[in-house]
Amino acid sequence: MSRQRISLLQELPLLVFLVLVWGALWQDYSPGNLVFGALIAVGIARIFYLPPVELSGRFNIVLAAVFAGIFLKDVVVASFQVFYLAAVRGPHISNAVIAVPLRSHSDLMITATGHVISLIPGSLVVEVDRATPMLYIHVLNVTSPEQVEKVRAEVRATEAWLIRIMGSKEEVAALAAESSQGVVAQ
């Protein structure tokens, strides 16, 4: 099976990341160790093929800063909620695995949305279906269909933020069209 060659420029972010991970693992950022890490990174990238991550070429730093604040607030609030559930309710809580359909088919958007959701205490992505695209999320303390819909809305709102921050122009336009049609994109 032949594969299309990826240019060094496309692979550069992956290679830099791998070199930084190498330095962190060895806790040594000396030039010699980083050069050796770069050789290993190039070898890994050539032997273990990964499809390139297609970036949109846009990033809104202002929206990213606003989203970072919202995300930190969500983490703090969810931490206290999980603490309350663990300390007061104990094992007597209902959990659910909820399927959440996403708007974007981009691997980057699906991955970013899944990571943001998993970093918030009380929720964890347990499955990703790239074909549909769908996230299956395990959530604590879900007892009603209204709460299920609330979780879906929160996940889709997170995806909407990420699309506004770094999505393609087409994704941003589709999100704007969805909002103008009266569908709440949050």
Q: What is the 8-class DSSP label of residue 101?
A: E
- Domains in the chain: boundaries: 8-47, 61-180
Residues in contact with 139: Cβ distance below 8 Å, sequence separation at least 6, in sequence order: 95, 96, 97, 98, 122, 123, 151
What is the C-alpha to C-alpha distance for residues 107 and 94, in angstroms, rounded to an integer? Answer: 31
Per residue in 52-84, pLDDT (tens digit) is 666 777 889 999 999 999 999 999 999 999 999
Q: List the alpha helices (DSSP H) in 8-136.
A: 8-26, 31-47, 61-84, 107-119
Per residue in 22-55, pLDDT (tens digit) is 999 999 999 999 999 999 988 888 787 766 666 7
* Whole-prediction pTM: 0.74
The pLDDT of residue 186 is 47
Distance set, CA 55 to CA 76, 107, 126, 156, 173 (Å): 30, 10, 25, 20, 17
DSSP code string of 109-148:
HHHHHHHHHHHSTTEEEEEEETTTTEEEEEEES--SHHHH
Query: With 90 as the cut, is the pLDDT of residue 18 above it?
Result: no
